[in-house]
Structure 1
Amino acid sequence: MRRAGLRVRVVAGFAAGALALSATMALASYQVARQSLIKERERTAVRAAYDDAAVVRAGLGATTRPDVAAVLRVLDTGESRRALLQRQGNWYALKADEGSTGAIPVALQRQAAAGTASVQRIRTGGHASIVVAVPLAPGDVFYEVDSLRELEHTLSVLTVVLTLVAMGTAVLGAGLGWYASRYVLRPLRRVADAAQEIAGGASKYRLDPAAEPDLARLTTSFNHMVDELSARLERDRRFAADVSHELRSPLQTLAAAASVLERRREHLDERTATAAGLVTQEIAHFQQLVNDLLELSRSDRPAARTTTDVADLARQVCRERRLPATIVAADGESRWSVDRRRVGQLLGNLLDNARAYGGGPVAVSLRLDGDVGRIDVDDEGPGVSPEDKPLIFDRFVRGRSAGARADSGGAGLGLALVAQHAAAHGGTAAVLDRPGGGARFRVDLPGCRP
C-alpha cells in the first residue's frame, strides 16, 4: 500500500488532534452542563413540591372531612408537574392518572410512609421525571411528579451544538494543518526546485541561507554539496577536454599515415592490405570517439538558439549519410528556434544509431506542438529491450542489440550526446516501441516556436 504524503499526514494529524481535543472538551462540557442543569432542576422541583405540600397540609387540616379534590385544585402545577396524594391507602390526583401512580417506585413509597421525605428520578411516559415524596401526616403522603421533558430537549440541542462545534473544530484543524504543512514544506520545495534547476544545467544556482534561518544548516549543506559537485564535474570536463586535445595531434598523424597506406593498398599483399584496412577503420573510430568526448566536455554550455528550418536540416543530414531525404516528414511549421549545430548532431547520431543497430531509419517525423518541438526517428530493427531503455542514454552504454553485432564500432556516446543536446534545450530524450515493430527515438525540445 502506498504511504500517504507528508502534507496529507500533517493535515490528518492536525484534524485528528483538533477532533480529539474538541470532542474531549465537548464531552466534559456536556457532562458539567448536564449535572448542573439536573441539580438545579431537582432543587427547583423540591422547593415547588414542599410549597405545594404545605398548601395541601393546610387544606387537609382545615376541616375534619376535607374535600381532597378541592384542596388539590388550589395547586398551580402548570403543564410539567403532576400532584398526587396518597391518603389512607387511596390515591388522589388533580388530573386523570396517566401512569404516574404506577411509576412511583415501591421503595420510595415505603420510605415516605415511614415518614422520610425522598427524591428520585424515574421514567414515565417515555420521558425522565423527578418524583418528590413529602409525608404530611401518618397515612398521608404528598407526591409531586415533575417532568424533565424540556430538560431532555435542552440537552439534545446541546448535544447537537457540541457535535457541530467538534466537527467545525476538526475542519478548522485540518485547514490549520494544510496551512502549516504548506508553510513548513515551502523551504523543502525551494530545495527541490533548486535541485531540479541544477539537474537541468544551472550549476550556479544556490540557496540563500538567510531566507529560512531555521533551515540554515540544510541550505548551507546543500550549497556546499552543489559546489563540490560542480567542481568535480568541471574537473571531469577539463580532463576529458585535455585528454581529447592531447589525443588529436597523434591521431591526425596516424590518420595521415593510414591514408597513405589506404592509397597504396593495391600494391600490398593481401594480409598487409587487410591489416592496413583495419588500422584505418579503427583510427576513424578513435577519431569519432575523441570528437564525441570533446562534444561531451562542451555539453554544459547553453544552447545558442537561432531560427532554423529543421526539415531542411534533417534532409541535409540524411543526404550526408546517403539516406533518402524522403524519409523526413514535417507536420506543420518546420522553422524552429533551436541550436542548429546541436540539433544537426542530434539528428545525425539518431540516424547513425538506427543504421548501425536498428536495420536502418525508416522515418524522421517533425512536429511543433505549442512551443515544444518533437523529433521522432523510427527504425525497423528488433527494438530496445525494457531492461536497456532506462540506461540507453547513459555514457558508454550499448544495448543488447549493439553487443550482438560484430560490426558495430560505437563506444556508446552517440545517444548520450543526444540526451545532452536535448537537455541543453531544456528538453528530454526517450526511446519508445514503434507501432508495427522497431524502435522510436523521441526528442522533445521546449521553446522552439520562433
Structure 2
Amino acid sequence: MKKAGLRVRVIAGFAAGALALSATLALVSFQVIRQSLLSERERTAVRAAYYDAAIVWSGLGSQEVGSLLRTLDTGDSRRAVLYRDGEWYSRQADTGVTDAIPVALQREAGDGIPSVQRVRAEGRAALVVAVPLSPTAVFYEVDSLQELDHTLGVLTAVLTAVAVSVAALGALLGWYASRYVLRPLTRVADAAQEIAGGAGKYRLDPAAEPDLARLTTSFNHMVDELQARLERDRRFAADVSHELRSPLQTLANAASVLERRRDQLDARTATAAGLITDEIARFQHLVNDLLELSRGDRPATRAPVDLPELARRVCRDHRISPDIVTLSGPATWCVDRGRVGQLMGNLLENAQAYGGGAVAVRLALTASTGRIEVDDEGPGVSPDDKPVIFDRFVRGRSANARADSAGTGLGLALVAQHAAAHGGTASVHDRPGGGARFRVELPECAP
C-alpha cells in the first residue's frame, strides 16, 4: 500500500484534530444546553402542575371531577388526570395517558411523596408530575416534551454542521501550513533540479528561511563538494585525453605506414598490422569522446539553424541517403549547431552499428518543443536496457556489456549530454513494425 505524502498527512492531521476538538466542544455544549433546557422545562412543568393541582383541590366536593378538570387551561402540550378513591378521572377520553404513568411513580405519590419522571407517552418524550392532594387523591399532569425534542434536534444539526465546518477549516489551515512548511523543501527540490540540469552555480539563501539555515548551509556545502568532485573528474578526463592524443597520433602515423606497406608483408604480419590500425582508430575515437564528455558543462550556444539541411549533411557524411530526412513544421531551429550535429551523427552511427542502419530521420518543431527521431530496422532495445541505454559504456543488449565491436559505449551518453545542455531529454522507444526509435526533445527551441 502506497504511503500517503507528507502534505496529505499534515492536512489529514489538521482536519482530524479540528474535527476531534469541534466534536468534543459540540458534545459538551449539547449536553450542557440539553441539561439546562430540560431543567428549565421541568421547573416550568412542576409550577404548572402545582397551579392546576391547587385549582382541582379547591374545587373538589363542589364540582363534578370531569367538569373540574376541563376548566384547567393545559393547552395542547399538557394532559391532566386525577386518581381518587381507586378511580381515574380525565378531562376527556383516556387515550393511554394513565398507562404512561409508571407504577413506581404511582406508589410514591400514593405514599404522599411528590414526584417527577421523564417517560415515553404514545411514542413521544413526556414529563409526568405527580402531586398528592390527599391520602386518597393524587393529581397527575403529563407534559409533552415534543417541542423540546425538536429544539434539541435542530441544535444537534447545527452543532454537527459547525463541527464539519471546523474540520474543513482545519483541513484548509493544514493545506496552508503544509504549503508554508514545505515551501523551503520545494526550493531545495527546485535547486537540485536546476543543478542536475547543469546550473552548477545555483545556491540556496540561508537567510531566506532562518529556521532552516542548517539545511540550506548543508545543501550548499554538498553542492560545492559535488561540483568540486565533478570538476576534478572532468579535469582528469580532459588531462588524460590530452596526454593520450600525442602518443596516439604517433601510433596512428606509424600504423598508417604499416597499412601502406601491407602488400609487402607476409599474411600474418599484414593481419596484425590491420588489427593494430583498427584498434588505434578505435582508441582515438574513445579518447575524442572522453574529451567531449569532459567539456559537457559548457552551455549550449544557440543560434538559428536550418536543421533539415544540417541533418542531410550529417547523413551524407555517414554515407546515408539524405532522402530519409523528413520535416514537420518550420525548418529553422534555435539550437547549438555543433552539439545537434554531433547528436544526430551519434544516433546515425548507433543505428548503423547496432540497428541495421537508419531508415528514417524525422524532424518536428512546434511552438515550444523540437523533436528529433531516428528509426532503425534492428532488433530493438530490450526493456531491461532502456533505462540505462544512455549511460556511459553501455552497449549491446545488456547494461555495462563490452562487445567486440568498434563502438566506445559513449555515443549515446553524448546524445543525452547534448540534449541536457539544451534543457531537453533523450529516450528510446519501440518502432512500429520492429526496430528502435531514438527520440530527442529540445524544449523552447523556436528562434
The residue matched to 1:390 in structure 2 has which SS?
helix
The residue matched to 1:367 in structure 2 has which SS?
strand
Output the CA distance in 1 between the equivalents of 2:277 and 2:305. Answer: 36
Output the CA distance in 1 between the equivalents of 2:246 and 2:79. Answer: 120
Output the CA distance in 2 between the equivalents of 1:303 and 1:169. Answer: 54
Change (3 A) 1:33 1:192: same
Deviation at 1:257, TM superposition (A): 1.6
Deviation at 1:69, TM superposition (A): 3.4
Output the CA distance in 1 between the equivalents of 2:111 and 2:329. Answer: 108
| TM-score computed with the length of structure 1 as normaliser | 0.96
Match of 2:152 among 155, 159, 167: 155
> Partner of 1:10 in structure 2?
10
Q: Which runs of 5+ in 2 are unaligned?
A: none
Deviation at 1:404, TM superposition (A): 9.1
1:229 maps to 2:226: yes
Deviation at 1:406, TM superposition (A): 6.6
> Letter of the aligned partner of 2:332 in structure 1?
R
**1:384-395 counterparts in 2 under 5 A?**
384-395=381-392
Q: Residues 7 and 179 of structure 2 are in contact (CA less than 8 Å); yes or no, is this contact kept in structure 1?
A: yes
Q: Could you list the per-position Cα deviations for residues 236-281 of structure 1 after superposition, in whole angstroms to 9, with x for gaps in the alignment?
A: 1111111111111111111112222222222222222222211111
Match of 1:95 among 92, 95, 107: 92
Identity of aligned residues (%): 75
Output the CA distance in 2 between the equivalents of 1:419 and 1:73. Answer: 101
> Partner of 1:261 in structure 2?
258
Q: Residues 116 and 128 of structure 2 are in contact (CA less than 8 Å); yes or no, is this contact kept in structure 1?
A: yes
Further displaced range: 224-233 or 124-133: 124-133
**1:33-432 counterparts in 2 under 5 A?**
33-60=33-60, 64-400=61-397, 408-432=405-429
Further displaced range: 129-138 or 343-352: 129-138
Output the CA distance in 1 between the equivalents of 2:402 and 2:292. Answer: 26
Further displaced range: 89-98 or 244-253: 89-98
Output the CA distance in 2 between the equivalents of 1:13 and 1:404. Answer: 50
Output the CA distance in 2 between the equivalents of 1:190 and 1:217. Answer: 15
Q: Residues 425 and 446 of structure 1 are in contact (CA less than 8 Å); yes or no, is this contact kept in structure 2?
A: yes
> Letter of the aligned partner of 1:165 in structure 2?
V
Output the CA distance in 1 between the equivalents of 2:403 and 2:423. Answer: 36
Deviation at 1:119, TM superposition (A): 1.2
Further displaced range: 158-167 or 97-106: 97-106
Q: Which runs of 5+ in 1 are unaligned?
A: none
> Letter of the aligned partner of 1:185 in structure 2?
L
Output the CA distance in 1 between the equivalents of 2:408 and 2:399. Answer: 10
The residue matched to 2:386 in structure 1 has which SS?
coil
| TM-score computed with the length of structure 2 as normaliser | 0.96
Q: Residues 385 and 399 of structure 2 are in contact (CA less than 8 Å); yes or no, is this contact kept in structure 1?
A: no
Report the aligned-residue RMSD.
Answer: 1.7
Q: Residues 314 and 347 of structure 1 are in contact (CA less than 8 Å); yes or no, is this contact kept in structure 2?
A: yes
> Letter of the aligned partner of 2:165 in structure 1?
G
Output the CA distance in 1 between the equivalents of 2:402 and 2:131. Answer: 112
Q: Could you list the per-position Cα deviations for residues 294-345 of structure 1 after superposition, in whole angstroms to 9, with x for gaps in the alignment?
A: 1111111100111111111111111111111111111222210110000111
Output the CA distance in 1 between the equivalents of 2:361 and 2:206. Answer: 48
- Runs of 4+ in structure 1 deviating by more than 3 angstroms, as ranges, are 401-407
